């Protein structure tokens, strides 16, 4: 395909270093109790692996709906291999040649990548100076370009900033097509910051995407999901592969949801660690984006590559992403954060 020639594949470095703070994973592995439960659950399905899995993931979707609350039903939930596959299915169903998708930079790089791979045209719009997104600016971009799909990300990656519900409502009021709110980091928001899930009633063109890769500490399992009008899910059924979610994946995800109390307890710890990190970075004189997620964007650096490399040389992997003068660091354990602080100071 000529349109893919010269493009770079997704390339977050996968380096074997002591402290990895570059892909916004949850630093806490499953507890021994959960590991045991996962083993039992996998053993239970193992005897039936000669058969295809439930291609509609009925039980998993019920569990996810219960977890989401907001009156969301299993018929409004769909699951796939990570929210990356969810985004791919959305593009396959609602995008394609002759159609357009628009997002507000800086934001999650996979939105434009998956958009282009689907043959859909990508349109860059831009966030405000402070990485927020004023409703007026969003509405103006949508009215100018009339995209078939709008991507909003809240909290946004790589900036960590959340959108107020009013901005999302304003977008829904003018968007001519689908509005996707990517809430991969929803659980890390400060208490009280509302989810777009509350806007689902009466908004059949709204899709809210979530993932088990972050708060649920299941990045290795690959489960993402969405909540939307059941008609959206009917459309996704037309593009998904026949058995996209394995039986092992489904049972692991359901077991993790059953342990949500324990897993989400760690989210509290990470939120506190994030706030401490923001405070420390500000105290050191850096500019810091207002993070509502499990990572922090900070700057500004005349040569961010040199700082990134200096931190890496001390065993800590962070991320060169977002605007050219900024770096992103994921929130880790207290020990990992201490290693990051020491590495950054030494690198400077
Ligand atoms: N959306 C956002 C905003 C992300 O930052 C990420 C991962 O970093 C994803 C979606 C994809 O997550 P996954 O495919 O693991 O569910």
- For the beta sheet containing 326-330, the strands, ordered from the edge strand earlier in sequence to the opposite edge, are 287-288, 295-299, 326-330
pLDDT score, position 295: 98
What's the 346 CA to ligand 1 centre distance in angstroms?
Answer: 31
Cβ neighbours of residue 193 closer than 8 Å, sequence gap 6 or more: 162, 292
Question: Which ligand 1 atom sits closest to the C-alpha of 213?
Answer: 15
Query: Which residues constitute the domain of residue 341?
Result: 2-30+264-347
Residues 301 and 181 in one domain: no
251, 285: one domain: no
Report ipTM for this prediction: 0.99
Whether residues 174 and 253 fall in one domain = yes
Ligand 1 pocket check for 156: Cβ under 6 Å: no
Residue 20 shares a structural domain with residue 43: no
User: Do 185 and 66 sit in the same domain of this protein?
Assistant: yes
- The per-residue pLDDT for 338 is 98
Pocket test for ligand 1, best of 211, 217, 321 (most atoms within 8 A of CB): 211
Cβ(107) – ligand 1 distance below 6 Å? no
> 155 and 24 in one domain?
no
114/231 same-domain check: yes
- Same domain, yes or no, for 134 and 233? yes
Q: What is the CATH number of the domain that holds 240?
A: 3.40.640.10
If asked whether residues 149 and 286 sit together in one domain, one would say: no
Does any ligand 1 atom lie closer than 6 A to the CB of residue 159? no
Cβ–Cβ under 8 Å, residues 308 and 341? no
The alpha carbon of 225 and the centre of ligand 1 are apart by a number of angstroms equal to: 11
Q: Of 206, 227, 260, which closes a domain? A: 260
Same domain flag for 255 and 272 = no
- The residue whose CA is least distant from atom 6 of ligand 1 is 184
Per-residue confidence in pLDDT tens, the chain, 348 aa: 898 898 888 888 999 999 999 999 999 999 999 999 999 999 999 999 999 999 999 999 999 999 999 999 999 999 999 999 999 999 999 999 999 999 999 999 999 999 999 999 999 999 999 999 999 999 999 999 999 999 999 999 999 999 999 999 999 999 999 999 999 999 999 987 899 999 999 999 999 999 999 999 999 999 999 999 999 999 999 999 999 999 999 999 999 999 999 998 899 999 999 999 999 999 999 999 999 999 999 999 999 999 999 999 999 999 999 999 999 999 999 999 999 999 999 999
The residue among 195, 228, 260 that closes a domain is 260
Number of domains making up the chain: 2
Residue for token digits 């660091």?
329
* Ligand 1, atom 1: closest residue by C-alpha: 184
Q: Is the CB of 108 under 6 A from ligand 1?
A: yes
Helix (H, G, I), strand (E, B) or coil at 148: coil
Would the CB of 81 count as within 6 Å of ligand 1?
A: no
Contact of 205 with 199, CB cutoff 8 Å:
no
Q: Which of 241, 260, 279 is the last residue of a domain?
A: 260
C-alpha of residue 146 to centroid of ligand 1, in Å? 26
Check which CATH number belongs to the domain holding 339 and give it: 3.90.1150.10
* Tally of CB atoms within 10 A around 246: 16
Q: What pLDDT, on the 0 to 100 scale, is given for residue 11?
A: 85
Please give the biggest Cα pair distance in the chain. Answer: 59
Q: What is the pTM of this model?
A: 0.98
6, 49: one domain: no
Q: Which of 53, 90, 334 is nearest to 235 (CA)?
A: 90
Q: Between the CA of residue 27 and those of 22, 160, 219, 294, 295, what are the distances in Å? A: 11, 18, 11, 10, 12
The verdict on 116 and 233 lying in the same domain is yes
């Amino acid at each position: 395909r000529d349109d893919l020639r010269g493009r770079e594949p997704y390339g977050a470095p996968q380096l074997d270093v002591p402290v990895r703070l570059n892909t916004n994973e949850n630093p806490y592995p499953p507890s021994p109790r959960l590991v045991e439960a996962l083993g039992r659950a996998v053993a239970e399905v193992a005897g039936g692996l000669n058969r295809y899995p439930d291609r509609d993931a009925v039980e998993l979707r019920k569990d996810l709906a219960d977890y989401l609350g907001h009156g969301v039903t299993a018929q409004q939930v769909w699951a796939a291999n990570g929210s990356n596959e969810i985004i791919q299915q959305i593009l396959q169903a609602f995008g394609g040649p002759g159609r357009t998708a628009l997002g507000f930079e800086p934001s999650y790089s996979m939105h434009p990548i998956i958009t282009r791979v689907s043959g859909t045209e990508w349109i860059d719009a831009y966030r405000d100076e402070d990485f927020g997104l004023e409703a007026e600016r969003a509405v103006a971009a949508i009215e100018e370009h009339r995209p078939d799909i709008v991507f909003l990300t809240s909290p946004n990656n790589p900036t960590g900033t959340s959108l107020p519900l009013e901005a999302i409502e304003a977008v829904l009021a003018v968007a001519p097509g689908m509005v996707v709110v990517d809430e991969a980091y929803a659980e890390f928001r400060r208490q009280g910051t509302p989810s777009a899930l509350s806007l689902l009633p009466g908004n059949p063109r709204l899709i809210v995407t979530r993932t088990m890769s972050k708060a649920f500490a299941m990045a290795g399992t690959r489960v993402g999901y969405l909540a939307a009008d059941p008609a959206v899910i009917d459309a996704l059924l037309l593009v998904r592969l026949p058995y996209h979610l394995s039986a092992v994946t489904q049972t692991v995800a359901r077991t993790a949801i059953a342990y949500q109390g324990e897993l989400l307890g760690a989210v509290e710890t990470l939120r506190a660690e994030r706030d401490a990190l923001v405070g420390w970075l500000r105290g050191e004189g850096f500019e810091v984006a207002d993070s509502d997620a499990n990572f922090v964007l900070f700057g500004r650096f005349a040569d961010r590559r040199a700082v990134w490399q200096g931190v890496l040389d001390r065993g800590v992997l962070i991320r060169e992403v977002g605007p050219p003068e900024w770096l992103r660091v994921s929130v880790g354990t207290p020990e990992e954060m201490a290693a990051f602080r020491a590495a950054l100071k030494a690198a400077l």
